[in-house]
Amino acid sequence: MMNKVIIGLLLFCGTWSNAQVNLVEERPNLVVGIVVDQMRYDYLTRFYDKYGDDGFKRLMNNGFNCENAHFNYIPTYTAVGHSAIYTGSTPSVNGIIGNNWYDKKAKKSIYCVDDDTYQTVGGEWGGNKSPARLLTTTVTDELQLTQMNRGKVISISLKDRSAILPGGHTATAAYWFEDHFITGTYYMNELPKWVESFNKKDYAQKYLKGKWDTMYPIKQYTESIEDENDFEQPYTGMEKAIFPYDLKSLQVENGGNNMIKATPFGNSILIDFAKEAIENEKLGRNKETDFLAISFSSPDYIGHQFGVDSKEIEDTYIRLDKELADFLKFLDKEVGEKNYTLFLTADHAAVQVPAYLSSLKIPSGYINSVEFKQMVTDFCMNRFGSDQLIEDYSNFQLFLNKDELKRLKLDRNEVSQILVDYVLEFDWVFRVVDAHSLQNNLYKDRIMEFLKNGYNQKLSGDVLIIPNPATISHSMKGTTHGSGFTYDTHVPILFYGKGVKQGKSSRFIPIVDIAPTLSNLLKISYPNGNEGNVIEEALK
């Protein structure tokens, strides 16, 4: 009897060991996460006929296309988007409530990844950063935890926050661009030799020494408005925002090497850097699964400056399509076509320039935030006898001064409700709610649900405001984002490669579903704050 038990245990252990081996073998050698900053879903369809067969079309037609994917919270900003994508959670859970926000304890505005505990590596400034304010784990963290840090996680972007947050707390390295690629002591004490070598080649100057003209004759760019219009912000030193752009003569007044961020060649230099990372770090060729997170920041800079209907945006995406095609071929060669899994999404979308919409008689508008705060302050002076009650106004949130409330013996909830009633009278206000009501009510309309998902009980303000559709706090040239309306929330989600089914879905898919879907594919734990669900139809 004892011998049978021993034999049974040995057989069970052997089966378990083989199952573990099979699970590891089922994982891709490399996961590539691509986030395109400020990419609307309709850039896939609007420019479809201008794309080649090997870039966006390859992912759309041979991978899985989530056609109705949305961010499910407010505000739709860069840091918040990257955090949601990689943690599977909204700001209410992960703690990243903006790019910048008011710190109620420190009583000052803070930046999402600033951390003076660490110093710059590879440059003079810009590296005192970390993911410390991100309260939850990421899918990249969970991969590292599962593999006991034996795999590599490399995260790269032109923006610091877009490199740091996707990499999570356990990234092997994160690199971002400040005149050249740098990092911080959170990750390492000196740059690897391959990064130093890359920086010495000064790719930025190679790209900026020429002109930016349209890749195809501009008359073929029929998916965008006229090149010369009143809705775009020219580069410093130019009177009009029209092609071609002489980058060599403009770069001194537009940030030197950093001007590359606001051109499509910022995408090019990031692809160059990604290839070097894959080759030198041997990503996809290690025993464990590696992860490369890439965030293309240039479309955001260009979108803010020129708007979503510009020739500049159209040309940027035509060029990005070619860069993507080249990168996919590189992955096929270096890692193997059947050995990697890739997803592509965006951290938010953007609204058409409101001035342009107004010219078409579509409701839209602008907000003067400085004037608004002063009007609220004056109201508090008249109503409560104090001009110190509003401690801060940012991200469309009013923060009350708790010390002043106590001094005046005012009830916080009562004051908040009075402010709600006052603010609602402004023509540009769509919805307004106080924090107490937001926490204690269930909402059937999606826009209020999104606001609640973006509200963090410890960090957010006391009165939260939603402007009217297509109404922004921005100059009348160029555009921005941040709302919960579809122009800001509707983004691509494309899965491609190992473990992914070919197909598409038109059902509503929230952005927080990306992380659990990847976790399921990789057979690892979900991020610890995960709120999303597996997109089952996308996986084999």
The residues pairing with 539 across neighbouring beta strands, listed in sequence order, are 500
Enumerate residues 6+ apart whose C-beta is below 8 A from 259: 208, 235, 247, 250, 251
DSSP state of 468: P
CB 251 within 8 A of CB 285: no
CB neighbours of residue 30 within 10 Å = 26
Listed residue (285, 245, 282) closest to 262, CA to CA: 245
At 505, give phi and psi (nearest 5°): -140, 140
Estimate the share of the chain in helix, then strand, then coil, as percent rounded to the nearest 5.
40, 20, 40
DSSP state of 500: B
CA atoms within a 13 Å half-sphere pointing along the CA-CB vector of 296: 30
Q: How do strand 108-111 and strand 100-103 relate by DSSP bridges?
A: antiparallel
CB 469 within 8 A of CB 296: no
The residues pairing with 62 across neighbouring beta strands, listed in sequence order, are none
**Active-site residue (options: 15, 76, 78, 263):** 78
- The pair of structure tokens assigned to 472 is 């922004």
DSSP letters spanning 31-47: EEEEEETT--THHHHHT
Q: How far is CA 198 from CA 66, 89, 164, 204, in A?
A: 36, 35, 20, 11
Helix, strand counts (H, E) of the chain: 21, 21
d(CA 103, CA 101): 6
Burial of 446 (0-12, 13-18, 19+ CB in 10 A): middle
Q: Which residue has the tokens 């059947």?
A: 338
Is 78 catalytic? The answer is yes
Q: How far is CA 329 from CA 31, 412, 494, 536, in A?
A: 15, 59, 17, 27
d(CA 394, CA 185): 31
Enumerate residues 6+ apart whose C-beta is below 8 A from 350: 38, 40, 303, 304, 308, 479, 480, 481, 487, 488
Point out the residues that are catalytic.
78
